[in-house]
Structure 1
C-alpha cells in the first residue's frame, strides 16, 4: 500500500469490525471520488455520535444498502474530515488514531489539532485484559 498517514508513515488499518473506510477496506483511504474525504480514523464516543445525530448525520442508524452497520461507542471508523472538524468545534471531537489517519485529513484539519486528540489503540484490544 502506498497510502501515507499524517505522521508520514505507511497508512495503518483503522478498523475491520465494523469494516470501515470509504472503500470498505478497513483503511481510511481517500481519493478524488470520495466527496467526504473519509480520512480521519476516529474512536467514536457517545458525545460524538450524539453531536453528529444532532446535525443530521446519524451514525448509529444501520444503512445496509451502503454496507454501514451503524456505530456504537468504541468503534473505530473513518470519519469525514469536515465532520470531525465540525465535532471538534462543537467540543465533541472523538479520539484519533494518527497512524491510521490519512495524510489528506490535514487538507481540512491542522495536524496540531489532530495531535491534541491522539489516542494509541492496540490492533488487538484483548491484549489489554
Structure 2
C-alpha cells in the first residue's frame, strides 16, 4: 500500500485528467519513475508559464503519452524536483498533502510542503 507524507494511505490525486506516473490517478512511484512524480499539485497559470519558460510544456496535449495538457485548477502529479525548482523561483503551486507520496520527503522537507497545503 502506497503511503502519503503523513504515513497514511495515499489518496487519489486526480482521475480527470488521469494523472500519475502509472496513469492511475495516484502519485505512486517505482524504480521506473526516474522523475519521481510524487507531488499532487493544484496547477496554476503562474506555474504553467514558469515551467514552460524552463522548457517543460505542460499545456500542450501529447496524446501518445496519454497527456491531456493542463489548465489552472487541474490536479497533477508533478516531479518532486520540478516542484522544488518552482518553489525556489517563487512559482510553486499548492499541494494536496494527503495525495502526495511519502518519497517526496526525500527531496522536499515536510515544513515546506505543509506551507503549501491546498485548502479545500
Q: TM-score range by the shorter chain?
A: over 0.9
Matched residues in 2 for 1:53 and 1:23: separation?
A: 23
SS in 1 for 2:85: helix
State the TM-score, normalized to the length of structure 1: 0.92
SS in 2 for 1:51: helix
For structure 2, the residue ranges without an aligned partner over 5 or more in a row are: none
Alignment length (residue pairs): 120
State the TM-score, normalized to the length of structure 2: 0.98
RMSD over aligned Cα, in angstroms? 0.6
For structure 1, the residue ranges without an aligned partner over 5 or more in a row are: 122-129
1:40 matches 2:50: no
In the TM superposition, structure 1's runs of 4+ consecutive aligned residues that sit over 4 Å from their partners are: none
Matched residues in 2 for 1:112 and 1:32: separation?
A: 26
- Bigger share in strand: 2
Matched residues in 2 for 1:120 and 1:23: separation?
A: 26
Matched residues in 2 for 1:7 and 1:93: separation?
A: 21
